[in-house]
Amino acid sequence: MFKEKDTNDDGNLNSEEFEQCLQLVGFYPTTEDIEFLKKHFDTNGDGVIQIEELLQNIHIINEHSLHKDEFMDAFKKFDTNNDGYIRLAEMLKILTINSFMSVEDARGLLSQLVKDHDQNGDGKFSYAEFVEVLMTEGKTSEDLIAHGEADK
């Protein structure tokens, strides 16, 4: 369904085409949203969103559109060095802050999360991977977000 939005038919989506695609799935993004998503869903790092990348991440973008304030807040909170990835050390720090979890428990949880959700195996969570953690881990993720919120 996105093919027709790719007006010059090269498989790449410019910002405008990308925005139109998002509207197709019921998401009316702001310019800030577009920039954020372009940054985080450009999986192959060529600076453009391909239709393929959009399709791969469509369930995440959909979830993002429903909970973006909550998710983006949580992501920013975990990404303490602001490099666009949540490294395990960053996550460990949040989890163990104020003795929320023991270091041992936190390490256990992290290794499970990495095993299940680090799709590309680079040992850190991209925004897309992080949203997937939140989507599939249910209770845990609510705890994570709540904890991050409480510590503002």
Shortest approach of Ca ion to residue 52 CB, angstroms? 8
Using CB under 5 A as the binding rule, whether residue 7 contacts Ca ion is answered as: no
Residues in CB range of 70: below 8 A, 6 or more apart: 145
Q: Is 88 exposed, middle or buried (0-12, 13-18, 19+ CB in 10 A)?
A: middle
Span 13-52, contacts to Ca ion by CB under 5 A: 42, 44, 46, 50
Shortest approach of Ca ion to residue 53 CB, angstroms? 5
Letters for 53-82 (x = contact with Ca ion by CB under 5 A, - = none) are: --------------------------x-x-
Indicate the residue among 50 and 141 with the shorter CB distance to Ca ion. Answer: 50
Using CB under 5 A as the binding rule, whether residue 10 contacts Ca ion is answered as: no
Residue type, 38: K
What distances in angstroms separate CA 151 from CA 57, 81, 135, one per listed residue? 30, 17, 22
Q: Which residues bind Ca ion (CB under 5 A)?
A: 42, 44, 46, 50, 79, 81, 83, 85, 118, 120, 122, 129
